[in-house]
Structure 1
Amino acid sequence: MCGRYAITLPPDAMAQLFAARPANALPAVPNFNVCPTTQVHVIRSGESGRNLVSMRWGFLPHWYKEETSGPLLINARAETLAEKPAFRAACRERRCLIPATGFYEWTKDTAGNRLPWYIFREDSAPIAFAGIWQSWGKDDPQETCAIVTTAANTAMSAIHHRMPLILEPDDWALWLGEEGKGAARLMEPGAEGVLDWYRVDPKVNSNRAEGEELIEPFEA
């Protein structure tokens, strides 16, 4: 699962990294507490090449009459992505990348308190989540997205049984549909030794928390 993350990379750096043309209106960075239903940075590919755009994090199937007509779909399971009615068309036709600096996950202590962890690439490179997107609404359509998740690898399973699907640069073009078919082979647990993590301050348990201190190591 991925329910909160951080992004510190400036839009021009994101555009350069992903070889994408940036849109004029993009979410502000840095953001150390990116939450569901907010606007997030997304890279998608089209006839004119790659574009860096803003989308609502929370996928809205076309049959939702209102944003709250059904469950909040911030994640999509890789194992059933091609089968679920909400996601199967997007899985075939509308895959995207969602950049991040790191993401949060939670464990619980013996008293049931939620203990947050900050998870990041061991090599300090930006993370590229695999995502899918959907344009929703007729009168004033908005573009929405979800992060694809997979079973946790051995190391991550100590924190949570799910993890976001993280793609390496060599796989970006295939996921975006630029290299034809075959993206299904990418939907596997991530390689071991790519991610690292540490405890962070419980203040990040609040979706209103802000500031760089959210991703700093915390000693209980």
Structure 2
Amino acid sequence: MCYDISFDTSNIRSLEDYFPDLHFDDQIVINYELTAHLQSHGFGNHPIIYINRDDLQPHCRLMEWSVIPHYTKDEDKFKIARLKMANARSERIIGDKTSYWYKIRNRRCLIPVTGAYEHRGVAGWKKKVPYHISVKGERIFFMPGLYAVVELPDKSTGEMIKRYTWTLVTREPICNIAMKNIHNSKEDGQFRMPLFMPLDRAKDWLTEGLSDPEIQERMNYELPEEAMEYFPVDTIRTTKPRADGKRKNDPFEWANLPALGEMNPD
């Protein structure tokens, strides 16, 4: 699964280079000091691109990572379950009509990122090695997701507030051996990867009125290994700065790290 992403840019308006007709629903401020690593378990806000149902135009607004279903009444009681709503398995979006993902399959969105992180297990090592992964040749790329809208009471005022939340679509790598060798630990959802897409396919994900077979066809796409860039980085799930003073998404050399595919855990 994927619980860590990077959006290492200080200019949110650069998204208009990819979507010239993009509308911003609100004022979006990017904290450049924090965007090198964003983790799902913090339920933090991230700029998400979606098709507004009123004007059928692409819009961008801040949404919280990890979906809160629209039927939720008590946010506190749902908090533990919400930790599992950061990713949506592509197999369940169309293939499992009992899943919540099937219910919101037409609320498709795009997550702008400059990279995603996955953790690699190495036999005999206590620590997993994080890798920064991106689409070759793309400074910003867009990962497919789903979003939900729920009205919940504000804890301080009691006023009902509309909350937008999102999840990231993942799939099993079949031909992409590099992703299999990076995301190789069973306890982390072995052999999963975000649904990486080149720009034209990502934009197509937002097409309104897609049938279920058409949605499934789009999720069948697997980014080939040669279209990816990836490298190990230092530990990312910590508030401590790196000892070398570099950002979390900068390459890091782990001593005695075996080549991908070697010394995988059992």
Do both share a fold (TM > 0.5)? yes
Matching residue of 2:182: 159
The answer to whether the 8 A contact 2:120-2:181 is kept is: no
Structure 1 residues 35 and 131: CA distance shift in structure 2, 3 A:
same
Structure 1 residues 15 and 212: CA distance shift in structure 2, 3 A:
farther
Structure 1 residues 60 and 151: CA distance shift in structure 2, 3 A:
same
Shift of 1:212: 5.7
The answer to whether the 8 A contact 2:67-2:82 is kept is: no
Matching residue of 1:5: 5
Match of 1:184, SS state, is helix
The answer to whether the 8 A contact 2:25-2:59 is kept is: yes
Where do 1:45-60 residues align within 5 Å? 45-46=51-52, 47-48=54-55, 49-60=57-68
2:166 to 145, 154, 176: 145
Q: Residue 101 in 1 paired to residue 134 in 2?
A: no
Q: Deviations over 1:155-183 (max 9, x none)?
A: 21111111101222222343112474322
Decide which structure has greater helix share.
Answer: 2
Whole-Å separation in 2 of the counterparts to 1:88 and 1:77 = 11
Matching residue of 1:185: 217
Percent pairwise identity: 24
Shift of 1:207: 5.9
Matching residue of 2:148: 134
Aligned residues, how many?
218
Match of 1:141, SS state, is strand
Whole-Å separation in 1 of the counterparts to 2:125 and 2:92 = 34
Whole-Å separation in 1 of the counterparts to 2:125 and 2:198 = 38
The answer to whether the 8 A contact 1:15-1:52 is kept is: no
